[in-house]
């Protein structure tokens, strides 16, 4: 059984159907990338997975266990194993960088403060932010905030990590720093679901790529297959467009 298994999931915003019959799976340690045009439902799929937007249909299994998104207990357990880095970082503005990273381990997982802060510092070092641990989010650039957000997500030792366009707000030099961090995580065996417009990176880092359009998954394949020999017209169109005009 896969680590993460999404079966026929649908979701709505009001009357608008934003996910339609989505199925996708990821084995332990796999890196699955979601690509597709703006508004195709990539962020929504991640939000459904972590329980911020309720699914109206379908099933989601984690390590063979079905998640009941209406149960608080299930949600708690789910969020204990899964973390998300948002497109807009969502850092706590009233807390320093170190506090942002250490707060969940200290207050939610009840780890000793010293140990949690030590761990937080090592994570900040990993993302190259150790010298900013006392700064506040509004004193940081977008890329710096993004890296703190990654450290915060990692602080709870998730087995599943969802990353939503973590490079979209960065300048080209910073992009590489963040991508290096993700490469490092892959080598540690964390299962990851990544939304990204960095096609070269997607191709390099993913074990599987899923192409989305209008709330559906159009095509799933290996990176080489999706980029070199897409089966669907929609995929070919999207990939060729984005490769010829990156961003």
Partner 1 sequence: MFERLVQEAPQFFGYHNLVFIGQAMGRTLWMTLIGCGVGFVCGLFIAIIRQTQTRILMPVRLLVIVYVEFFRRIPFLVILFIVLFAIEPLIPGTSLLGIATVSVCLLSTAFLSEVIRSGLESVPRQQIEGAATLNFSFIQMMSMVILPQSWRVILPPAAAFIVMFIKDTSLASQLGVIELTFAGKMLVNRGFSPILGFGAILLCYFMLSYPLSRFAAYLEKRLESS
Ligand X SMILES: Nc1ncnc2c1ncn2[C@@H]1O[C@H](COP(=O)(O)OP(=O)(O)OP(=O)(O)O)[C@@H](O)[C@H]1O
| 189 is an interface residue for ligand X by CB under 6 A | no
The residues in 107-146 that bind partner 1, with binding defined as CB under 8 A, are 107-108
| 93 is an interface residue for ligand X by CB under 6 A | no
Could you give the CA distance from residue 61 to residue 95 in angstroms, rounded to a whole number? Answer: 34
| 156 is an interface residue for partner 1 by CB under 8 A | yes
Q: How far is the CB of 132 from partner 1 (least distance, A)?
A: 19
Query: How many residues in the shown chain lie near partner 1 by CB under 8 A?
Result: 22
Q: How far is the CB of 195 from Mg ion (least distance, A)?
A: 6
Binding map of Mg ion across residues 20-59, x = CB under 5 A, - = no contact? -----------------------x----------------
In the complex, which residues of this chain contact partner 1 (CB under 8 A)? 50-52, 76, 79-80, 83-84, 86, 88-94, 103-104, 107-108, 152, 156
In the complex, which residues of this chain contact ligand X (CB under 6 A)? 13, 18, 36, 38-44
């Amino acid at each position: 059984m896969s680590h993460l298994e999404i079966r026929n999931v649908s979701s709505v915003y009001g009357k608008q159907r934003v996910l339609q019959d989505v199925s996708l799976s990821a084995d332990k340690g796999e890196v699955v990338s979601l690509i597709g045009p703006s508004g195709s439902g990539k962020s929504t799929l991640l939000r459904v997975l972590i329980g911020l937007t309720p699914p109206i249909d379908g099933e989601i299994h984690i390590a063979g266990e079905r998640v009941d998104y209406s149960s608080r207990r299930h949600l708690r357990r789910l969020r204990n194993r899964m973390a998300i880095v948002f497109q807009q970082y969502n850092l706590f503005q009233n807390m320093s960088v170190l506090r942002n990273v250490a707060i969940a381990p200290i207050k939610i997982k009840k780890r000793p403060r010293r140990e949690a802060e030590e761990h937080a510092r090592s994570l900040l070092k990993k993302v190259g932010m150790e010298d900013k641990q006392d700064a506040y989010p509004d004193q940081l650039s977008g890329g710096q905030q993004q890296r703190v957000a990654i450290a915060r997500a990692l602080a709870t030792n998730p087995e599943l990590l969802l990353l939503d366009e973590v490079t979209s707000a960065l300048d080209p030099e910073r992009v590489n720093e963040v991508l290096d961090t993700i490469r490092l995580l892959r080598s540690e065996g964390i299962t990851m679901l990544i939304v990204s417009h960095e096609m070269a990176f997607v191709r390099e880092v993913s074990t599987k790529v899923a192409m989305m359009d209008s709330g559906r998954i159009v095509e799933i394949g290996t990176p080489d297959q999706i980029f070199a020999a897409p089966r669907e017209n929609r995929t070919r169109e999207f990939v060729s467009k984005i490769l010829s005009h990156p961003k």
